[in-house]
Structure 1
Amino acid sequence: MLVQRVLMPDSSLESWTVLGDEGGIVESIERYPAYLAGIERSPNTIKAYTHGLKDWFVFLDRRHLDWREVRLEDPGERG
């Protein structure tokens, strides 16, 4: 996964997105950085949050966990 800088098409605001291993946008992550850009959060804030989301999804992928089904206990279990 890769965090990529983007310009919002409607407003030219800077935002960030996550590209998957195949190069396509990771849709399950895309909405939150777009939301933050829409409410005019700092590009640095959006970048930091997007990197955090990318790291979370990489962690889940390595543990073979679906983000919609993660339990509170899952991150702490050894895998």
Structure 2
Amino acid sequence: MIIGSDYLPVKQIDLYLKYLHSTGKSPNMIRSYAYHLKEFWLFLDNSQLDWDDISLVEMS
């Protein structure tokens, strides 16, 4: 579970990780995805960007 800056679970990431679990993905893969999604969420938070408004321009 990934916690956002508001100290609540990040719903979008939580749903995706549950989906990966339901499709039988390995625990190590899910853990790796969770780590990288957490880092991405921190980047969005520090850049004051919304996850659904980001493009490749903001990521470069």
Which TM-score applies when normalising by structure 2? 0.88
Q: Which has the higher strand share?
A: 1
Moved over 2 A (4+): 20-24
Q: Which runs of 5+ in 2 are unaligned?
A: none
Rounded Cα–Cα distance in structure 1 between residues aligned with 2:45 and 2:8: 16
What is the percentage of aligned positions where both structures have the same residue?
A: 33
Q: Does 1:31 align with 2:15?
A: yes
RMSD: 1.2
TM-score with structure 1 length normalisation?
0.69
SS where residue 2 of structure 2 aligns?
strand
Kindly indicate which of the two structures has a greater share of residues assigned to helix: 2
Structure 1: gaps (5+ residues): 1-16
Aligned residues: 60
